[in-house]
A and B are shown apart, each in its own frame.
Chain A
Amino acid sequence: MSTIQPVRRKSPWPAWARRGLMENIATAIIAIGFLMLFQPIALSLYTYSFITMLTGTVMFIIVSKFPE
């Protein structure tokens, strides 16, 4: 689905971009997208729920390629 390959560098992969952490962030974004989709408070939040979920999903696919 995604064309991004696991990057093999000699230099250590930055600690903040480890797979576990980034996957949790992506999961949180997807969850926020769902809350925006489902909430009954503001129409504008609903409007932007789709782009939030899309961002989270794409991010999830990309970061799942990062090293542990």
Chain B
Amino acid sequence: MSLTTAHSVVAPSSNAKLIAGTIIIAYALISIVPLLWIFATSFKTPPDSIAYPPKIVFQPSIEGYCNLFTTRTRQTPEYINSLGPATGVCDATVRKRNMVIAGPSNFLPRFVNSLIIAFGSTFCAVFLGTLSAYGFSRFKVPLADDLLFFILSTRFMPPIAVAIPIYLMYREIGLSDTALGMILLYTAVNVSLAVWLLKGFIDEIPREYEEAAMIDGYTRLQAFWRTVLPQATTGIAATAIFCLIFAWNEYAFAALLTSGTAQTAPPFIPTIIGEGGQDWPAVAAGTTIFLVPILVFTILLRKQLLRGITFGAVRK
């Protein structure tokens, strides 16, 4: 690492660095444009969003967010004039389009479902994963390699192929369209990642800590609680964020196995429609709200990202 100084024979020349930097920055900027466009569209009015040529400069409006959280009905201007003064910003905005707010939309409950299912399944997956990872890391388990492969292989199953029997099974035992059913399913998918990632993290904690604790008279379980868990906090947090992102983003299971009460945000957002087609500012608003937590997590995770996407195999 210290070899990449000006004296190193293999250090890239400053010219090469300049060209490389320019290309990378250009790629980064282009690849981020769709995301910036989502963000911009969420603050456009519906006419602005479908203007030709596409508008880069526009008058920002919160109409998209208003439409996202409400359902509206069209009324005659006479009726709207007969109402009292508008009760809020959204009310005033939709009245300009000859509409009145009829009630809240389904977005908030779907968003809450996403939160419940993502956090619930993450907690279960990390809990089970930590125990199993410790078991595989510290004890001689017969057929350990086969069990670990079995655990990982469940993650590769095509979601639609799993969904067919799960659909029948959940229908039999009454878990169709319930948050509990989705939590169980996402836990099963995530636990494989959790075991593999956490095994890597726990392998890195020296055994001497536990052995010292056990010489002090702690049992194995106490040693696990007192020395291993505090040491593994970073690993557990990183694993939890990975599980959270998967459960948050998941679409196939959610679309096939939930339809109403337990539906999460990803299958809901594409169904947001206005008069005469998709209400793009509202879709963009929902997408923005949905993506912001992931952006924050990505920045928090950037040092662990490589580990997460290779199931803990590549650490640097």
Q: Does A1 contact B (CB under 8 A)?
A: yes
Number of interface residues of B (CB under 8 A): 3
Provide a sorted-by-A list of 4 A–B residue pairs whose CB atoms are within 8 angstroms.
Answer: A1-B146, A1-B149, A1-B150, A2-B146
B149 CB contacts on chain A under 8 angstroms: 1
CA distance A2 to B153 in the complex (A): 14
A1 CB contacts on chain B under 8 angstroms: 146, 149-150
Interface residues of B in 141-170 (CB under 8 A from A): 146, 149-150
A2 CB contacts on chain B under 8 angstroms: 146
CA distance A1 to B153 in the complex (A): 11
Q: How far is the CB of B265 from chain A (nearest CB, A)?
A: 35
CA distance A51 to B303 in the complex (A): 43
CA distance A1 to B150 in the complex (A): 7
Q: How far is the CB of A2 from chain B (nearest CB, A)?
A: 8
For B146, the closest partner residue in chain A by CB is: A1
Q: How far is the CB of A55 from chain B (nearest CB, A)?
A: 18
CA distance A37 to B150 in the complex (A): 25
For B150, the closest partner residue in chain A by CB is: A1
- B-contact 0/1 string along A1-43, CB 8 Å cutoff: 1100000000000000000000000000000000000000000
CA distance A2 to B150 in the complex (A): 11
For A2, the closest partner residue in chain B by CB is: B146
Q: How far is the CB of B157 from chain A (nearest CB, A)?
A: 14
CA distance A2 to B145 in the complex (A): 12
Q: How far is the CB of B254 from chain A (nearest CB, A)?
A: 29
CA distance A1 to B149 in the complex (A): 9
B150 CB contacts on chain A under 8 angstroms: 1
For A65, the closest partner residue in chain B by CB is: B146
Q: How far is the CB of A63 from chain B (nearest CB, A)?
A: 14
Interface residues of B in 73-129 (CB under 8 A from A): none
Q: How far is the CB of B291 from chain A (nearest CB, A)?
A: 34
Q: How far is the CB of A56 from chain B (nearest CB, A)?
A: 15
Q: How far is the CB of A12 from chain B (nearest CB, A)?
A: 24
Q: How far is the CB of B138 from chain A (nearest CB, A)?
A: 23
CA distance A1 to B146 in the complex (A): 7
Q: How far is the CB of A53 from chain B (nearest CB, A)?
A: 14
- A-contact 0/1 string along B272-314, CB 8 Å cutoff: 0000000000000000000000000000000000000000000
Q: How far is the CB of B270 from chain A (nearest CB, A)?
A: 30
For B149, the closest partner residue in chain A by CB is: A1
Q: How far is the CB of A30 from chain B (nearest CB, A)?
A: 14
Q: How far is the CB of B84 from chain A (nearest CB, A)?
A: 66
CA distance A9 to B83 in the complex (A): 92
Q: How far is the CB of B143 from chain A (nearest CB, A)?
A: 9
For B145, the closest partner residue in chain A by CB is: A64
- Would you list the 4 A-B pairs with minimal beta carbon distance, nearest first? A1-B150, A1-B146, A1-B149, A2-B146
Interface residues of B in 176-193 (CB under 8 A from A): none
Q: How far is the CB of B146 from chain A (nearest CB, A)?
A: 6
Q: How far is the CB of B220 from chain A (nearest CB, A)?
A: 29
Q: How far is the CB of B219 from chain A (nearest CB, A)?
A: 34
Q: How far is the CB of B148 from chain A (nearest CB, A)?
A: 12
CA distance A45 to B149 in the complex (A): 30
For B147, the closest partner residue in chain A by CB is: A1
CA distance A33 to B117 in the complex (A): 39
CA distance A1 to B154 in the complex (A): 12
B146 CB contacts on chain A under 8 angstroms: 1-2
CA distance A2 to B149 in the complex (A): 12
